[in-house]
């Protein structure tokens, strides 16, 4: 049995006691705000030029975007939110001499050139493979005035240096590239210690202004710069096989156990390697966004995953997101699409039952929980039994609820949600959920 879905909402304690949903799905404060001018500059070079054709749906996401191994192993370029944060903080004016330096900075550099308007932009790319690729295929339709060179060249006298994830020693070496009174903006995305800082050079003296904890200037709630860069680092792990510590590792391992396992088991990695890789990356991006509570972005990422290569897992997870947005009819439709895609996966049957419970239709829910238990591919059958017990209690069938909970505990001894609900049954009717 494979393809386990690690979903602590529908399959865990939150659903056993009632669903707890994040705030409204419009998520007004979850993305770094950017001015119209910056947004227009970013839009002038379509990001879909950065990725193979089958993965173009990923270019529409507010997430880092990169190249897919084995096509090419390279770091992803920054998301629109992160790039917008950088360009707003860099404060580029028309006519400035601008250096954009770091890893995967081509798209950021072209946006800086659009803001600058005078072709006085130099891009120094640290990653050799990306440098070679951009020179050979010119996916950015670069203006001839925009120079693409190796990192840490000899040209100096810049008014602005914008450094995205630069290599070691950047605070020491980059200010040397400035004209008098110029500034360096350095960003390091990191899940634990993100950094955004402005460096100002005055003769031999240097001043550092930390910006990590500042919120971008905009009306309404906004994340800090550190929040944006922390999220960026978590999303970037979707493009690599790295499994660092903390939340990034937990998410990565869950993705490995769900869609990555399913794609391999169904032979899709062998038959359609590029599409399978793109579907996995988009699913991973969706899982990160959902874990962070960015529900609409999560739904868009799961949609991109099924556009690249339809899978029951991506449909099921998009349904879960829709349920968290209180869009139960759409959630049920997603689960039906998941069943059409792969009727052997048990999770969407369980989910439809859970949604029917929320709609106050326990008898119909039980039918779906029974289908979940009959499915070939379901690693956590204790959850349909738990949900079935909840349905039986709604129907005032206490003995049947007790039997379902005992079956859940037989499958998974010590299963705490089932144990707690059983204890409440034993404590009498006043303790039962309503």
Calpha distance 372→227 (Å, rounded): 39
* Integer angstrom CA distances of residue 410 from 15, 325, 357: 20, 34, 24
* pLDDT score of 38 more than 50: yes
Say how many domains are in the chain: 2
Given a cut of 50, whether residue 25 has pLDDT beyond it is: no
Q: CA 9 to CA 331: how far, in whole Å?
A: 14
- Measure the CA–CA gap between 383 and 6, rounded to whole angstroms: 12
Check residue 150 and give its pLDDT: 56
Q: Quick check: is 200 in a domain?
A: yes
pLDDT of residue 420: 94
Average pLDDT of every residue of the chain? 83
DSSP one-letter code for 1: -
Q: How many residues does the chain have?
A: 434
- Section 326-342 average pLDDT: 97
Q: Which of 149, 181, 210 is the last residue of a domain?
A: 210
Q: Answer with the one of 210, 244, 268 that is the final residue of a domain.
A: 210
Burial 356-389, CB ≥16 within 10 A → b, else e? bbeeebbeebbebbebbbebebbbbbbbbbbbbb
Of 24-28, 144-148, 200-204, minimum mean pLDDT range? 24-28
Q: How confident is the model at residue 351 (pLDDT cuts 50, 70, 90)?
A: very high
**Whether residues 257 and 284 fall in one domain:** yes
38-47, 178-187, 199-208, 389-398: which is most confident = 389-398
Residues 251 and 193 in one domain: no
| 25 lies in some domain | no
Q: Which two tokens stand for residue 370?
A: 């029974």
Give the model's confidence band at 33: pLDDT under 50 very low, under 70 low, under 90 confident, else very high: low
Q: Are residues 184 and 303 in the same domain?
A: no
Residue 375 lies in a domain: yes
Say yes or no to pLDDT of 15 above 60.
no
The residue-averaged pLDDT of 161-189 equals 89
Average pLDDT over residues 402-424: 94
Average pLDDT over residues 300-304: 97
The answer to the question of residue 69 being in a domain is no
The mean pLDDT of 224-228, rounded to a whole number, is 92
Burial 264-288 (b: 16+ CB within 10 A, else e): bebebbeebebbbbbbbbbbbbbbb
Is there a single domain that holds both residue 202 and residue 351?
A: no
Q: What is the pLDDT of residue 26?
A: 41
Q: Quick check: 154 pLDDT over 80? A: no
Contacts of 364 (CB under 8 A, 6+ apart): 356
Question: Do residue 390 and residue 426 come from a single domain?
Answer: yes
pLDDT band at 138 (very low <50, low <70, confident <90, very high): low
Across 30-34, 110-114, 243-247, 355-359, least confident range:
30-34
- In this predicted structure, which of 52-56, 230-234, 358-362 has the lowest mean pLDDT? 52-56
Q: Which of 175, 210, 245 is the last residue of a domain?
A: 210
Confidence of residue 136 (pLDDT cuts 50, 70, 90): low
The tokens for 9 are 């909402």
Note whether 142 and 280 are same-domain residues.
Answer: no
pLDDT surpassing 90 at residue 389: yes
Q: Are residues 280 and 390 in the same domain?
A: yes
Q: To the nearest whole percent, how much of the chain has pLDDT over 70?
A: 82
- At residue 122, the pLDDT reads 87
pLDDT band for position 151 (cuts 50, 70, 90):
low
- Residue 65 belongs to a domain: no
Which residue from 416, 412, 415, 432 is spatially nearest to 424, judged by alpha carbons?
A: 432
Range of the domain at 148: 74-210
Does 430 have pLDDT greater than 60? no
Q: Is residue 66 classed as helix, strand or coil in its secondary structure?
A: coil
| 24 domain residue, yes or no | no
The region of weakest confidence among 237-246, 310-319, 361-370, 378-387 is 237-246
Q: What pLDDT score does 207 carry?
A: 86
95 to 116, 148, 187, 293: CA distances (angstroms): 6, 19, 23, 41
Assess contact for 48 and 56: CB atoms under 8 A: yes
Residue 262, pLDDT > 50, answer yes
Report whether 311 contacts 285 (CB < 8 A): no
Q: Is residue 27's pLDDT more than 50?
A: no
* Domain harbouring 112, CATH code: 3.40.50.150
Indicate if the pLDDT at residue 140 is higher than 70: no
Judge if 319 and 185 occupy the same domain: no
Q: Looking at residue 7, what is its pLDDT?
A: 46
Q: Are strands 98-102 and 121-125 parallel, antiparallel or unpaired?
A: parallel
Please give the share of the chain, as a percent, with pLDDT higher than 90: 50
Q: Are residues 334 and 239 both part of a single domain?
A: yes
- CATH number for 396: 1.25.40.10
pLDDT of res. 117: 80
On whether residue 215 sits in a domain, the answer given is no
pTM score, two decimals? 0.87
Residues 317 and 345 reside in one and the same domain: yes
Residues 287 and 390 in one domain: yes
CB 280 within 8 A of CB 241: no
Q: Is residue 35 part of a domain?
A: no
Helix (H) / strand (E) element for 148: namely strand 147-150
Higher model confidence: residue 185 or residue 173?
185
- Give the pLDDT confidence score for residue 222 in this predicted structure: 62
Shared domain check, 300 and 258: yes
């Amino acid at each position: 049995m494979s393809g386990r879905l690690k979903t602590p909402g529908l399959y865990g304690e939150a659903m056993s006691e009632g669903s707890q949903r994040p705030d409204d799905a419009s998520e007004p404060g979850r993305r770094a705000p950017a001015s119209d001018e910056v947004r227009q500059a970013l839009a002038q070079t379509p990001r879909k030029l950065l990725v193979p054709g089958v993965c173009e749906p990923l270019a529409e996401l507010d997430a880092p975007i990169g190249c897919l191994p084995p096509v090419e192993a390279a770091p992803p370029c920054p998301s629109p939110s992160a790039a917008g944060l950088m360009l707003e903080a860099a404060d580029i004016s028309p006519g400035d001499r601008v250096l954009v330096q770091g890893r995967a900075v081509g798209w950021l550099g072209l946006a800086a050139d659009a803001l600058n308007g005078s072709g006085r932009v130099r891009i120094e790319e640290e990653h050799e493979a990306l440098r070679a690729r951009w020179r050979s295929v010119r996916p950015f339709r670069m203006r001839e005035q925009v120079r693409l060179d190796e990192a840490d060249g000899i040209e100096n006298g810049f008014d602005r240096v914008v450094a995205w994830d630069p290599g070691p020693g950047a605070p020491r070496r980059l200010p040397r590239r400035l004209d008098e009174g110029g500034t360096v903006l350095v960003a390091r995305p990191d899940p634990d210690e993100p950094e955004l800082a402005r460096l100002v050079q005055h003769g031999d003296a240097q001043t550092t202004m930390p910006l990590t904890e500042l919120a971008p200037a905009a009306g309404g709630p906004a994340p800090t710069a550190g929040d944006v860069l922390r999220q960026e680092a978590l999303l970037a792990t979707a493009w690599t096989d790295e499994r660092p510590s903390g939340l990034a590792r937990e998410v990565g391992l869950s993705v490995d156990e769900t869609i990555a396992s399913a794609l391999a088991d169904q032979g899709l990695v062998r038959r359609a390697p590029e599409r399978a890789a793109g579907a996995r990356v988009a699913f991973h991006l969706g899982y990160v966004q959902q874990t962070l509570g960015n529900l609409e972005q999560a739904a868009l990422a799961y949609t991109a995953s099924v556009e690249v290569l339809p899978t029951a897992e991506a449909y099921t997870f998009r349904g879960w997101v829709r349920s968290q947005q209180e869009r139960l009819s759409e959630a049920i439709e997603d689960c039906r699409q998941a069943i059409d895609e792969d009727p052997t996966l048990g999770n969407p049957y369980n989910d439809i039952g859970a949604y029917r419970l929320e709609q106050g239709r326990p008898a119909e829910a039980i039918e779906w929980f029974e289908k979940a238990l009959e499915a070939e591919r379901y690693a956590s059958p204790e959850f349909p039994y738990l949900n079935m017990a909840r349905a039986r209690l709604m129907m005032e069938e206490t003995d049947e609820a007790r039997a379902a909970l005992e079956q859940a505990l037989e499958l998974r001894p010590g299963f705490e949600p089932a144990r707690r609900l059983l204890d409440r049954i034993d404590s009498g009717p006043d303790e039962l959920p309503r």
